[in-house]
Structure 1
């Protein structure tokens, strides 16, 4: 089974998919509380930057993917269109409107923690690009979400272990990249302490509930990936050995079987294509944390490729998957993302 790599041709394909929907306002599924008649506004009025891609969080991580592809292939056929989009959207007035939306009391839990993590991931990626203006423009919005993590995590006694947007391990994992990019040692410490509080004692994970019918994340594997990202190279291996002690026997078996998707026009069932891609990402990243001679390493890499092969053919074709799946394909193909 050959390893998939992100060629420039594939990168341009992904970019064109995202460029086709980040500016598409409808159909749209807002996550919006109406406190009064004055709050009945269009997606573009509510979110002048992230109004497309069916929902706010998908628009955010599609922008992240475009930024990542621009950094990886700055002279590609799609590069000028990405730069033009960023120039038009990452401007003070529009970012201020996104910030103002979050100031409403009804927006306290808006996109927690999935959208929080993705917005910080986007800000971290923009910090790696040459254009200083884009990172400076988005900085106030990123600062709000970083503060939301600081405020919320001490209050969150329990983690959320589902395979959907509410999974807390995913939020910590993505926020960690922002904390590192901004050299925010205090935020990094808070993320690490929270991960240990929530997950540090976990062991012999059965993964018996996976997959659920609308999962797009593996609650077991994203927890492991969260801990890989936040723990030191010394502390992660013993935790990982306790958490999934039977990987050499390909157990839990459910984690090694790609999910079956029966109807890609159903947004919830289409989530399972995302599960295959996000599992591929986690398997590949976890394999990279193992030493070269570890017998588990080829097993994990094989599982990653099998899941990627199951998900990659379906990133376009129906809008229920097309508006978001390419981002997870990039994560799955290149763990450096």
Structure 2
């Protein structure tokens, strides 16, 4: 099954998948440092909101997806269940426990920057709902992560360009939506200046390392999407011309070939389904930034469709992908090009 845009039918399918795992505590892969025996606690004890979906960050972006689906289709069949989940889980008491976890010295690098960016993306999405109550409740947790960006970025001399959770362009890209939603111009400026410091001189990207065996992001395309999001068009387009100068010839060729996935029960290999979906998201966003009549616009839109067709059929089937892939499908389907 393929689709060009998010439909109510797909929204319901994705919502049912997420509702089936955001409250599923096990199996679980915690990113947790034990400073002593008292720190040996269950996922639900450590994270009373985001204890499901195999890991904390996947639970966070599944909440983001449910929020987006609720905003797009407020009357669809899963809406009541989503609202009930949010009422039960997004409470001041549970947010306080999530914040307290982050205050421990051992949690300084917890989920940096992937989970940081997704939590801020969730907070931004909640702020767009008609019902602002959940947005207000999660605001203290969002501010903790916003402050982590403010503290960390001036210290980060170098970007991280891998295709996994540690990619810094992805973190900047997602945090940008929070800066916009909260009208935090100082944060937006910091994100933009950091992106220019890290990526502003990049040119003629070879994308030679893509894809690695467990990539779920394209280090080349997420960098371009980060710059598109943070720069004004008059600054982004000349940068993009330099960054991918042979795009109209579908080069580098590796960016145009959907990844092959050989074992969807292997969590790392299953990442490659996510690579196809995240590339589709980036290609669609980049196509939308190119002028009408620019041949590269059609090239990018075609690449997006090819990657989306490769990824959408594999959203569910094995928990190694099922606990997170739908979020990236929604990113791709909701990106207007």
TM-score by length of 2: 0.99
**Shift, 1:3, TM fit:** 5.7
Contact 2:117 2:171 in 1 (8 A): yes
**Shift, 1:326, TM fit:** 0.1
Distance, in Å, in 2 between the alignment partners of 1:12 and 1:3 is 14
Partner of 1:19: 19
Distance, in Å, in 2 between the alignment partners of 1:310 and 1:80 is 32
Partner of 1:69: 69
> How many residue pairs were aligned?
337
* SS of the residue 2:233 aligns to: coil
Distance, in Å, in 1 between the alignment partners of 2:264 and 2:227 is 32
Partner of 1:163: 163
Partner of 2:247: 247
Distance, in Å, in 2 between the alignment partners of 1:110 and 1:188 is 22
Partner of 1:217: 217
Q: Deviations over 1:121-143 (max 9, x none)?
A: 00000000011210010000000
* SS of the residue 2:193 aligns to: helix
Distance, in Å, in 1 between the alignment partners of 2:3 and 2:142 is 35
Distance, in Å, in 2 between the alignment partners of 1:111 and 1:7 is 32
Partner of 2:92: 92
Contact 2:173 2:225 in 1 (8 A): yes
Listed as ranges, the matches of 1:266-305 within 5 Å are 266-305=266-305
Listed as ranges, the matches of 1:253-264 within 5 Å are 253-264=253-264
**Runs of 4+ in structure 1 displaced over 4 angstroms?**
none
Partner of 1:48: 48
Distance 1:235 1:21, change over 3 A: same
Partner of 2:147: 147
Distance 1:336 1:24, change over 3 A: farther
Distance, in Å, in 1 between the alignment partners of 2:323 and 2:53 is 5
Distance, in Å, in 1 between the alignment partners of 2:3 and 2:113 is 32
Distance, in Å, in 1 between the alignment partners of 2:140 and 2:336 is 26
Partner of 1:36: 36
RMSD: 1.2
Distance, in Å, in 2 between the alignment partners of 1:281 and 1:133 is 30
Partner of 1:309: 309
Distance, in Å, in 1 between the alignment partners of 2:233 and 2:262 is 40
Partner of 1:58: 58
Distance, in Å, in 1 between the alignment partners of 2:58 and 2:335 is 20
Distance, in Å, in 2 between the alignment partners of 1:322 and 1:173 is 24
Partner of 2:230: 230
**Shift, 1:233, TM fit:** 1.2
TM-score by length of 1: 0.99
* SS of the residue 1:317 aligns to: coil
**Shift, 1:65, TM fit:** 0.2
Q: What are the ranges of 5 or more consecutive residues in structure 1 without an aligned counterpart? A: none
Distance 1:336 1:37, change over 3 A: farther
Distance, in Å, in 2 between the alignment partners of 1:7 and 1:331 is 13
Distance, in Å, in 2 between the alignment partners of 1:47 and 1:224 is 33
* SS of the residue 1:270 aligns to: helix
